[in-house]
A = this chain, B = another copy of it.
Amino acid sequence: MTRWLDEEEQRTWRAFLHASRALWDRLDRELQRDAGMPHAYYEILVRLSEAPQRMLRMSDLAEATLSSRSRLSHAVARLEEYGWVRREDCPTDRRGQLAVLTDQGFQVLAEAAHGHVEGVRTHLFDQLTPEQAAQLRQISEAMLDHLDPGRALY
């Protein structure tokens, strides 16, 4: 027996759906326009830049970016073409591959970051009160606890 949404829930759901999609589309488009890469690729570069030695196992990188292994393989192949990432064999597991951020990749990321962060501020934080930002964090964490329990955010 389906538990339908009442009027109020319906409106909340649609508002959330549209807001998050509109924000996503906007940021993704800005990044594509200004930095020539989709947000998915940006995220890969960010995670690599924060990792020790700026390198990560493919599977860890996939997990960190909420991406399937397949998707990551394709993405890294392309980032490698651009010269932003390079692959190395993993010394401790012969199945493994390490994705390594190149100096050029780091450069590109550093330039892209300015505009993107400005976008996040303009389109998200500037629109919310500090209380709302705190609420949004709690709400998001509640969702994450359910959807992806036991995951480290950092």
The answer to the question of A13 belonging to the interface, with a C-beta cut-off of 8 Å to chain B, is yes
Chain B residues with CB below 8 A from A77, complex form: none
Check A9 against B133 for contact (C-beta < 8 Å).
yes
The answer to the question of A94 belonging to the interface, with a C-beta cut-off of 8 Å to chain B, is no
Q: Give min CB distance, A142 to chain B, whole Å.
A: 5
Check A127 against B142 for contact (C-beta < 8 Å).
yes
Which residues of A pack against B, CB within 8 Å? 2-5, 9, 11-16, 18-26, 66, 113-114, 117-118, 120-121, 123-128, 132-148, 153-154
Check B25 against A140 for contact (C-beta < 8 Å).
no
Check A25 against B120 for contact (C-beta < 8 Å).
no
Given A9-B125, A135-B132, A135-B135, A144 and B3 touching (CB < 8 A)? no
